[in-house]
Structure 1
Amino acid sequence: MSTMQQTDVLIIGAGPSGSSAAALLRQKGHQVTVIEKQYFPRFSIGESLLPQCMVFLEEAGLLDTVRAHADEYAFQFKNGAAFLRGTQRSFYDFTQKFSEGPGTTWQVRRANFDQLLAQQAEKMGADIRFGHEVLAVDVASAQPILTVKDEQGNNYQIQGKFLLDASGFGRILPKFLDLESPSDFPVRRAVFTHIEDGLLDDPEFDREKILITVHEKDHRAWYWLIPFADGRSSFGIVAEQDFFEKYGYDGSVDYDLEALQKRILADDVSLSHVLRHAKHDTPVRTLVGYSADVKHLASENYALLGNAGEFLDPVFSSGVTIALKSSSLAVPLVEQVLQGLAVDWMEQYEKPLRKGIQVFRAYVESWYSGEFQDVVFSTQQDEKIRRMIASLLAGYAWDTTNPIHRNAKQRLSTLAEYCREAQQQNELLTDET
C-alpha cells in the first residue's frame, strides 16, 4: 500500500449532500476529497424537490448550474402538490405559504441532477473520485483514515482532518461503526419506475405539481406521480408488505414487478383514468425497509449527512431537503474544527437538524394514521391554515415561526379533528338544505 494520502475533509458519497458539502467547503478554500463508489450519471429515486432546497442550493453555489440546465434535462417547474382520493381532489400552492423563502422548485431526473451538482463541485475544486470504494474506516485517531479501492482494484489509504458520510442508503459509517438503530416506522416497500405518462395535453392534470394518490381500498397505501417536462413521469407505489401480498407479491426477486404495478394501478379507478394513456416502458424496481435511524449523527471527527443518518419515508419528498439542510448545518461546524475550535456536535448539529426531521416525521406519521389525509382533503380550511400546511409541504420544517412547527404531532391531530368536525357539520347543513 502506498504512502498515506492527505486532505482537509473526506466525504463519502457524491450525491446531493456530498456535493453540496464539498461546494460549501471549497467556498472556504478547504481541500476536499470525495469517495464515490458509483459512476455518474446513475439512476436514483427521489425526483421531487421542495422549494426549501432552493435556499440550500443557492447557498452552496449550485443553483445557477441547475437553473442553466433545467430545459436541457427536462426539469419540470414545480409550484405545489396535488392530492387524489377516490372522487376527492385537493391541491396546495407553495407560493401561497406561511414561511418566507422560495415557493417554487423543480421535479428532476436524479441521474442528471446529481451529476450537475457533482460537476459543479468539481469545477469549484473538489476532488471527486468516481469508482472508488471504501473498504475500511478508522476514526480512532483524531484524524480519520479511509482504506479505499480505486478503479484498477488497487488499495490506498487517505487521511482527513474531518470525515463526512454522505453515502445515502449505502450508510457506510453506520455499518462500519455499528451506529445502526432500527426505525420505529413499519417496514414499507416502494415499487417504482419511469413511464411515458400521456398527460401533456390533459386539462385535468397539472404538471407543475406532484400528484399523491391514496389507494381507494387501503388508505395506508399511496401512489406518487412526479411529472418531468418531456411527457414522462416517475411513478411509484408505497405500502406495507401485507398490501402487496394481497396482489400475490411475496417479495421474490424474480417477480414480474411491472405486472404487479399495473394490477395495483387498475384497482384505483381515479388514478387509472389519469394514466389511461400511459406507456410502461422502463424496468420496474423495488426498495424495501428503507426507513432508517442511527444512535447518533456526529462525533468529534465525523458527521453523518442526509440519508446516511436518517431516512423517514418518500411521502412529501423530504429526503433531498434533509440532505441539503444537513450539509448547510454541518459545514460551518467542520470549518470550526479545521480552525482548532471546539464544537458541541449534539447541541450545534444533531439537535437542530432533528428538530426539522421531527416535524417531517409528525406529518408522515399523521399521513399513515389517516389524520393528515383528512386535513389535506378537507374543504373546511381557512386560508391561514392552508398557508401553514403549504409551508410544511414546501419543506420549511425548520421555520419555528410557523405555529404548526411547535408540537407538530399534537397540533396536526387537533387540526385533523377540527377538519373532521367542520366537514361533518357542513355535510349536515347540506343535507338539511
Structure 2
Amino acid sequence: MAPGTISLPRFADSVHLGGNHVNHETYDVAILGAGIAGSVLAAILARQGFRVLLLEKGAHPRFAVGEAMQPQSSMLLWILGERFDVPEIQHLSCTQKILRHVTRNCGVKKTFGFLYHEAGKPQDPQQAHLLIPPPTPLASESHLFRADIDHYVVKAAIRHGATYRDRTDVVDFTLGDDGVVLRTAGDEVFRARFLVDGTGHKSLVAERLGLRPKDPPLRTQSRTIFTHMRGFRRYDDLLAPHERPGLSRGWYEGTLHHMIDGGWFWVIRFDNVPGSESDLTSIGLTLDMRKYPERGIPPEQEFWEVVNRYPSIARHLEGGVAVRPWVGTGRLQFTATDSAGPRFFLMSHAHGFIDALYSRGMINTFETIHALAPRLIQALRDDDFTLSRFDYPRRLQDGMLLDNDRMVHNSFRSFANFATWNAFLRVWLANIIFGDLRMFRVCMKYLASGDKAEFAALDADAVPLSQAPGEDPLEDLSRFTDATFDRWEAGELTAEQAAAAVFAQLGRTPLPPIHAWSDPAAHHLDLLPEKLVKMVDWGQTVAPRPMNRWFDFDLGMLDRLRADAAA
C-alpha cells in the first residue's frame, strides 16, 4: 500500500502496467485538495453512495487560515449537514458541538469588533464598532482551529465511503468524452467520471487549461502577513471601565479587527470559550498594496514596524510570541476566466479569492457546495454532464467573488478616514444582516415543514450583482456607495462629503428599525432577542417589496428548538 493510502474493500487495488500504476476502478468523482471545501463535498457525495476519490498533495493535520465563521457560514453548514444527511458537517455549525465532537481547540465568535486607529495616537473609544449577532439555538459562530477541523472532515468523508490518498501529487490530467484520467508524480493513474478541483491558487486544472489570468480583473490589491501567537492579553483587560462599550458581550468574545489607513489586523482567539484547551490566537495583518507595496523585508519585521506606529495595537500585542513561522504573501487576489467545463468544476479557492476581510471566503465556499452538490449528484445519476447543468453554480460563484471584490475594495478605500469607514461599515452591515436573514428564513421554513425541498429555494434568489437598478434596495445602496467613493477618489468630494452622502443614502434605504443607520454617532449594535423580534415584525408588516419577501416564516420555531435542546 502506498504511503497515506486508506483502502476500502469495494475498490480495486492498483497494479503496475506499462510503467504506470493503473487503478482499474473508475471513480464517480475525483476531488483534488482535501481542505475544508474538498472534504465537505467528498463527505456529501460519499454519503449518497458515490465512489469518491479524494486526493491531497500534502498530509493532515496541517496548518490553514480561514478560521472565523459568520452566521451565514454556520447556517450553511447546518443546511448542508441536514440536507445531505451528514451529521459531521452539522457538528461544525455550533461551537459546543465542535468542542463535544471535533476538537477542544476551538474559540467562539459572538462579536464582530472593529477598532479604528490613527498613527501615533491611542485608540479613541468613540471610533469603534462592536456588533453582536442575536444568539439562536439553530447555529453559533466559532473560531476554527483548521488543522483539527479539516482533518476531522477528511475522516468523516472516509467514514462515509470516500477513498482518501494523501502525499499524492497529481501532475497531469486528460479530459475525455467518457471521463477524466489523472496522473501523479508517482506514476499512478486514476480514472473518474467527473473532476472537482478544490485546491487553490496553484490549481492544476486552471493552469493547464489556461483559465488563470496573469493580471486578474479585480479591484482589490492586498497582501497579508500572519502567524499564530500566544502570550498577549485580551483587549478588554487593557481598557478602563469608561472605555468599554457596556454591551452584552466584550471585544475578546469574537473576531477583533484593528483598522488602519491602508490595512487591517485580525485577532482570532481559540481560548475565549469555556472548554477550549488552546492558548493560541491567530494574528494577521492585511495591507493595501497601493499604500504598502512589497519591500522585500522579512514578514515579521514588517509586521512589527506597522504595529509600532499604533500605540494601542502595540500595547494589545505586547508579550505576544509567534509559535509558528511567519508567512508573508504577494498579492492575494486571483480568479479564473471560467469555473466549469466538460467533466470538471473549479470550486472555491481553485476558482478565485479576494481577501479574508469579513470572513466571506467560508460563506462563498459553502454556498458554492450547496449549489454544486445536488446538480452533480443528479448528473452522476443520469450519467449526463452537459455543461448547462452547472450553469447556476458557475454564475453564482463568479457573482459572489465579484461582489466580495467590490465590498473589500471599498472597505480599503474607506479606511483612509474614520468618517468614511464609519459610513461604509453600515453598508456592509446592512448587506450581511439580510444575507444572514436569507439563510435563517430557509432554515425556519424547513423546520416548520420538514421538507428538504425548502433548501432548494436558495437557488431561486438572484445571483449577486445581477439585479437591475431599482430591483434591490441593498444593491442600489452598494452601487451608490461605490460611485460616491469613485468621486471621492477623483477629488470631486472630500472624505467628509462622501461619508455624508452615504449616510444620507442609508437614511433613504428601507432598513429595519434595529439601528440608527444614518446617525454617525450610533456605532455599536447589540442585536438582542427583542431586536430580532422587532426586525421580523417590521419585515412582516411594514417592509416594502422586495424586502418583505425574506420574512415569510414563523419565528416561533425558535421556541420549539429551544424546547428540544432543553429536553
Aligned to 1:358: 402
Q: CA deviation at 1:356?
A: 3.0
Q: CA deviation at 1:347?
A: 3.1
Alpha carbons of 1:244 and 1:327: their partners in 2 closer, same or farther (altered >3 Å)? same
**Residues in 1 aligned to 2:321 and 2:314: alpha-carbon distance in whole angstroms:** 12
Aligned to 2:259: 214
Instruction: Decide whether the 8 Å contact of 2:220 with 2:408 is kept in 1.
Output: no
Secondary structure of the equivalent of 2:404?
helix
The answer as to 2:451 corresponding to 1:406 is: no
Aligned to 1:112: 148
Aligned to 2:538: none
Match of 1:10 among 11, 22, 30: 30
Match of 1:48 among 64, 68, 92: 68
Aligned to 1:135: 171
The answer as to 2:220 corresponding to 1:175 is: no
Instruction: Decide whether the 8 Å contact of 1:321 with 1:395 is kept in 2.
Output: no
Instruction: Decide whether the 8 Å contact of 1:80 with 1:394 is kept in 2.
Output: no
Aligned to 2:129: 90
Write out aligned runs for 1:181-330 (5 A). 181=213, 182-183=215-216, 184-200=218-234, 202-203=236-237, 204=239, 206-215=251-260, 219-229=261-271, 230-241=278-289, 243-244=291-292, 250-251=295-296, 255-330=297-372
Q: CA deviation at 1:336?
A: 2.1
Instruction: Decide whether the 8 Å contact of 2:59 with 2:166 is kept in 1.
Output: yes
**Residues in 1 aligned to 2:299 and 2:44: alpha-carbon distance in whole angstroms:** 40
Aligned to 1:63: 89
Secondary structure of the equivalent of 1:225?
strand
Alpha carbons of 1:116 and 1:392: their partners in 2 closer, same or farther (altered >3 Å)? farther
Match of 2:110 among 79, 82, 94: 79
**Residues in 2 aligned to 1:28 and 1:91: alpha-carbon distance in whole angstroms:** 42
Instruction: Decide whether the 8 Å contact of 1:211 with 1:226 is kept in 2.
Output: yes
Q: CA deviation at 1:359?
A: 3.0
Alpha carbons of 1:365 and 1:396: their partners in 2 closer, same or farther (altered >3 Å)? farther
**Residues in 2 aligned to 1:76 and 1:107: alpha-carbon distance in whole angstroms:** 4
Q: CA deviation at 1:268?
A: 1.4
Q: CA deviation at 1:386?
A: 8.4
Larger Rg over CA atoms: 2
**Residues in 1 aligned to 2:212 and 2:292: alpha-carbon distance in whole angstroms:** 27
Unmatched runs of 5 consecutive residues or more in structure 1: 428-433
Letter of the 2:283 partner, please give it. F
**Residues in 2 aligned to 1:161 and 1:101: alpha-carbon distance in whole angstroms:** 40
Unmatched runs of 5 consecutive residues or more in structure 2: 1-19, 118-123, 240-249, 272-277, 440-457, 465-470, 485-497, 508-516, 522-567
Alpha carbons of 1:419 and 1:406: their partners in 2 closer, same or farther (altered >3 Å)? closer
Q: CA deviation at 1:33?
A: 0.3
Question: Which structure exhibits the higher relative contact order, with contacts defined as CA atoms closer than 8 Å and separated by 6 or more residues?
Answer: 1
Alpha carbons of 1:324 and 1:141: their partners in 2 closer, same or farther (altered >3 Å)? same
**Residues in 1 aligned to 2:256 and 2:435: alpha-carbon distance in whole angstroms:** 13
Alpha carbons of 1:112 and 1:407: their partners in 2 closer, same or farther (altered >3 Å)? farther
Q: CA deviation at 1:227?
A: 1.4
Deviations along 1:115-136, whole A, 9 cap, x unmatched? 1111111111111111111010
**Residues in 1 aligned to 2:473 and 2:143: alpha-carbon distance in whole angstroms:** 26
Alpha carbons of 1:300 and 1:336: their partners in 2 closer, same or farther (altered >3 Å)? farther
Alpha carbons of 1:89 and 1:404: their partners in 2 closer, same or farther (altered >3 Å)? farther
Deviations along 1:350-370, whole A, 9 cap, x unmatched? 123333333322211210221
TM-score by length of 1: 0.83
Identity of aligned residues (%): 18
**Residues in 2 aligned to 1:9 and 1:353: alpha-carbon distance in whole angstroms:** 20
Letter of the 2:311 partner, please give it. V
Instruction: Decide whether the 8 Å contact of 2:340 with 2:394 is kept in 1.
Output: yes
Instruction: Decide whether the 8 Å contact of 2:74 with 2:139 is kept in 1.
Output: no
Q: Which moved more, 1:352-361 or 1:267-276?
A: 352-361
Deviations along 1:243-280, whole A, 9 cap, x unmatched? 445xxx622xxx43323211211111232232234334
Alpha carbons of 1:325 and 1:380: their partners in 2 closer, same or farther (altered >3 Å)? closer
Q: CA deviation at 1:395?
A: 10
Secondary structure of the equivalent of 1:46?
coil
**Residues in 1 aligned to 2:411 and 2:374: alpha-carbon distance in whole angstroms:** 34
Deviations along 1:371-415, whole A, 9 cap, x unmatched? 89756535997xxx7862442786979876995653463154479
- Greater helix share, structure number: 2
Q: CA deviation at 1:30?
A: 0.7
Letter of the 1:365 partner, please give it. H
Q: CA deviation at 1:102?
A: 5.7
Write out aligned runs for 1:372-387 (5 A). 374=419, 377-378=422-423
Q: Which moved more, 1:222-231 or 1:6-15?
A: 222-231
Secondary structure of the equivalent of 1:162?
strand
Alpha carbons of 1:144 and 1:210: their partners in 2 closer, same or farther (altered >3 Å)? same
Aligned to 2:452: none
